[in-house]
Amino acid sequence: MVHEHRRSAASARLSRRTLVAALGAVAAGAALGVPRAAAARAVSAASTGLDDPAKKEIAMKLVSSAENSSLDWKAQYKYIEDIGDGRGYTAGIIGFCSGTGDMLDVVRLYADREPGNVLAGYLPALRKVDGSDSHSGLDPDFPADWREAARDTVFRRCQDDERDRVYFDPAVARGRTDGLRALGQFCYYDAIVMHGDGDDSTSFRNIRGRALRTAKPPAQGGDETAYLDAFLDARVWAMKQEEAHSDTTRVDTEQRVFLRKGNLDLRTPLDWKVYGDSYHIH
């Protein structure tokens, strides 16, 4: 059961690969007056990042514990419901929404890869409801057809690819540029999943900007733990601006727990709580 969701309609469309991000971090550090060697050391510290397959699996389980009260994130390809947050239908592995454009992108990609699929006929309706909570043209069959599509490996791959393009890859790239290790990259990813990366005050980029007013990331010569504390403070502020996000336990009893233990590399085993439920990864 999804507890809360987010999304700015102006989602990020940036996608960078690890090598490009690593090189960019050095350049960004130099541009900010940070010695090239210091920026390079920050990147080196973050070299085993969240895009490592084992770390990425951990990230997906952490998000699923908060979004779906389950570590079985792969069971969420078929998930769909309107949770009453003003974003229409919420569905899939990270909560693509009919009202925020990312669900439209997933279905469009699916139609490109498998023309005539069970969801392709909903594209006109998804275009019309983008930006609203309307179900016009979607009811009554869209939820059942989404679940049917989720049995198709092509559709599941479309969800994976859009997750990476819009949310995961940008979060990891920005984290590497800031010299953050796996935990910091995850903090960025979880924030983008919930808040999007648009221009509104509670978007990821503005959460990061708020943190930068009080602390510097490692690529700018700052302390990683102090910076992540500032980022999580800013994240909590953003969550409290909207009633649907006001329960901050995914930060308080998950991400801060790892930070206080100094587990900047997200080493296992991991123990945390979300909404009072306990979770463990060996």
Q: What does pLDDT average to over the chain?
A: 87
| Number of domains the chain contains | 1
Structure tokens at 68: 């779906």
User: Does residue 2 belong to any structural domain of this protein?
Assistant: no
Question: For the chain, how big is the Rg over CA atoms in Å?
Answer: 19
Position 12 scores a pLDDT of 31
178 occurs within a structural domain: yes
Report if residue 13 sits inside a domain: no
Distance CA 5, CA 81 (A): 12
Region 273-281: mean pLDDT is 96
**How far apart, in whole angstroms, are the C-alpha atoms of residue 49 and residue 176?**
8
Show which residues are catalytic.
Answer: 67, 85
Coil, strand, or helix at residue 196? coil
Identify the domain containing residue 161 by its residue range: 18-281
User: Per-residue pLDDT for 44 more than 70?
Assistant: no
Confidence grade of residue 27 (pLDDT, cut at 50, 70, 90): very low
The pair of structure tokens assigned to 208 is: 């990061």
Q: What percent of the chain has pLDDT over 70?
A: 83
What's the whole-number mean pLDDT along residues 82-87? 90
pLDDT in tens, 115-157: 999 999 999 999 999 999 999 999 999 999 999 999 999 999 9
Q: What is the mean pLDDT of residues 89-103?
A: 95
In a domain? residue 236 = yes
Residue 11 lies in a domain: no
Q: Express each pLDDT in 231-270 by its tens digit.
A: 999 999 999 998 877 899 999 999 999 999 999 999 999 9
Residue 120 lies in a domain: yes
For residue 123, give the CATH number of its domain. 1.20.141.10
**How far is the C-alpha of 4 from the C-alpha of 67, rounded, in Å?**
7
* pLDDT grade for 85, boundaries at 50, 70 and 90: confident
Assess if residue 48 is contained within a domain.
yes
What per-residue confidence (pLDDT) applies to 246? 86
Whether residue 156 lies inside any domain: the answer is yes
Q: What per-residue confidence (pLDDT) applies to 47?
A: 57
Q: Is the pLDDT of residue 167 over 80?
A: yes
Whole-model pTM: value is 0.84
Q: Are 219 and 205 in contact (CB under 8 A)?
A: no
How confident is residue 102, by pLDDT bands cut at 50, 70 and 90?
Answer: very high
